[in-house]
Amino acid sequence: MNRAQAIDSAISLMKGALQQLDSVNETGAAAYLQQAINELTGAPRPQTVEQAEVLLETPEARAILERHLACYQIAIE
């Protein structure tokens, strides 16, 4: 298995794990897993509030935001 195949396989496994975590409302771990997926897939990082708002206009993006907010909430506590 080459590097690209290994990364694709890892992303697939992480997405499956993310679905399982979401199904039991495990937001803290899901937030970190989502961040890892974003890093590997090169997901865009908004640079302005306007860019962030555009990216958050989907249900999937809202779920990602909730994961990240949960992550930061855990870090604060």
pLDDT of 7 reads: 96
By CB atoms closer than 10 A (0-12, 13-18, 19+), residue 13 is exposed
Q: How many CA atoms lie within 13 A of 7 on its CB side?
A: 10
DSSP-derived letter for residue 24 is: T
How far is 20 from 30, CA to CA, in rounded Å? 9
Contacts of 18 (CB under 8 A, 6+ apart): 30, 33, 34, 37
Q: Tell me, what's the pLDDT at 24?
A: 92
| pLDDT tens series, the chain, 77 aa | 899 999 999 999 999 999 999 889 888 898 899 889 999 999 888 889 888 888 778 888 788 778 778 877 766 65
